[in-house]
A and B are shown apart, each in its own frame.
Chain A
Amino acid sequence: MTTNYLKLQFYSLPRNQAFARDAVAAFCLELNPTLADLSDVKTAVSEAVTNCTVHAYKGNLGIVTIECEIEDNSLHIKVSDTGRGIADVTKAIQPFYTSAPSDERSGMGFTIMQTFMDEFNVNSIQGEGTVVYMTKCFKAEVENA
């Protein structure tokens, strides 16, 4: 059962990246995450939001939507845009694949999301947008007697 919910919408401005990852990190504090888990979530959100700015809207202004749900000890995150979409998702999520090699891009964004989160999925329709789903499972709190 979902016990808490957050929806954030903001312009795809680079300066909103820090705000977005910090907001999601603050939201999941009620799950008592370890610093390592919190850092994983921040990094994964940063990657997803950066993709919206850099790839989905290619520097044009668009709306990024982040939805978060807390269910038991898990945080579900959905990051969506209505940008240009990804032609070949299988190729895009390969480590080191980048559509913009000249811009010093590492091509590791999706790999980091996949590695740092427990569940990861991407749906994209060309010309309509992309949705990234990620889940982080936090260890249940141990009660001290």
Chain B
Amino acid sequence: MKVTGFVKDKTLYIALSGEMDECSSQEARTKCDKLIEDNLSVSKIIINLAEVAFMDSTGIGFLIGRYKKASRLALPLYITKPNFAADKILNLSGIYSLIPKAE
């Protein structure tokens, strides 16, 4: 799974790309957490899921883990552009009440 990030207007944008499952999630966690730790001066984080072609419930665990990390740093976290299938899982899990969708 590819994880890339950039900072613009005090916002850390993290883009995930590939298939999110049990196999790929550990690498995504490590890369994502490093991006967060390297950019502590931002005021919010937006995770872009547009290029995530597949996601199972591992994705929910992954996002809750990043939410907990961001919360400890007092940084609000948002999700943007999940595809139809990812959106179905995220809705089912109720995760949007913790991590709102950003446009």
Q: Which residues of A contact B (CB under 8 A)?
A: 14-15, 17-18, 21, 35-36, 39-40, 42-43, 46-47, 50, 53-54, 103-106, 108-109, 111-112, 115-116
CB distance from B95 to the nearest CB of A (A): 9
Residues A18 and B62 in contact, CB atoms below 8 Å apart: no
Q: Which residues of B contact A (CB under 8 A)?
A: 19, 21-23, 29, 54-58, 60-62, 64-65, 84-85, 88-89, 92-93
Tell whether A39 pairs with B56 under 8 Å between CB atoms, given A14-B23, A17-B22, A106-B61.
Answer: no
Residues A46 and B61 in contact, CB atoms below 8 Å apart: no
Residues A18 and B21 in contact, CB atoms below 8 Å apart: yes
List, sorted by A's number, 12 A–B pairs whose CB atoms are closer than 8 Å: A17-B21, A18-B19, A21-B54, A39-B88, A42-B54, A50-B57, A104-B61, A104-B64, A108-B60, A108-B92, A112-B56, A115-B92
Least CB separation from A115: chain B residue = B92
Residues B93 and A108 in contact, CB atoms below 8 Å apart: yes
Across-interface contacts of A47 in B (CB, < 8 A): 56-57
